[in-house]
Amino acid sequence: MSETKKKWYVLRAITGHEKKIKQHIESEVAKQELQDFVSQVLVPVEKVYQIRNGKKVTKEKNFYPGYVFVEADLSVAEVKHLLRQAPGVMGFLGNNNPEALRETEVMRLLGKVDELAEMEEELVPSFIVGESITVIDGPFNSFSGIVEEINNDKKKLKVTVKIFGRKTPLELGFNQVTKES
């Protein structure tokens, strides 16, 4: 079988069921011996790390919720039927006329998957406005303060600390503070 007939397609899926759909498709492909026609089923995920109650918790977050990517040869009727009729699949992107992804889109998708796999741990502490913190880095080391504002995108906090009896606002990174126990 020629590799050039295989193209990447996007299946619309019920959000939250992407992994189940991937497992179902992979098991059906193996059962029906269609490995020559379906080479990859992909659900890109990223690992997100959070601190909850002082413990580091890992969660997997779907990078494209509601979509499953499949590299397949849709000229074979059984393959098209298998993919479209998988439980949780609402159809192909493009409905009756499944449209293959462009080469640039595929490269970007595969590059993003590699990037997510190689990405170092992303620490997302759960700070709360009004919470007491202690500065652990920088010129205000060991000062206590209160969280006034949280910017998760920049991973920064606006904190007020008392210096010489006066409240002073500071902008600190998540890694410069710790929660007071």
Other beta carbons within 10 Å of 127: 18
Q: In what order do the strands lie in the sheet with 177-179?
A: 166-173, 156-163, 144-151, 132-135, 177-179
Render pLDDT for 3-34 as a digit per residue (tens, 0 to 9).
558 899 999 999 999 999 999 999 999 999 99
Q: What is the pLDDT of residue 87?
A: 93
What percentage of residues in the chain have a pLDDT greater than 70? 88
Q: Is 53 exposed, middle or buried (0-12, 13-18, 19+ CB in 10 A)?
A: exposed
Q: What is the pLDDT of residue 3?
A: 53
Domain 127-179 grouped into CATH 1.10.10.10 = no
More confident residue, 118 or 177: 177
Q: What is the pLDDT of residue 137?
A: 83
Written as six digits, the tokens of 134 are 């202690």
How far is residue 1's CA from residue 4's CA, in Å, rounded to a whole number? 9
Render pLDDT for 58-81 as a digit per residue (tens, 0 to 9).
888 888 899 999 999 988 889 989
Residue range 3-123 forms a domain whose CATH class is: alpha beta
pTM: 0.60
Domain ranges of the chain: 3-123, 127-179
Q: Considering only CA atoms, which of 127, 126, 141, 124 is closest in space to residue 176?
A: 141
Q: What is the pLDDT of residue 124?
A: 57
Q: What is the pLDDT of residue 1?
A: 46
Render pLDDT for 74-106 as a digit per residue (tens, 0 to 9).
888 899 899 999 999 998 987 778 888 888 888
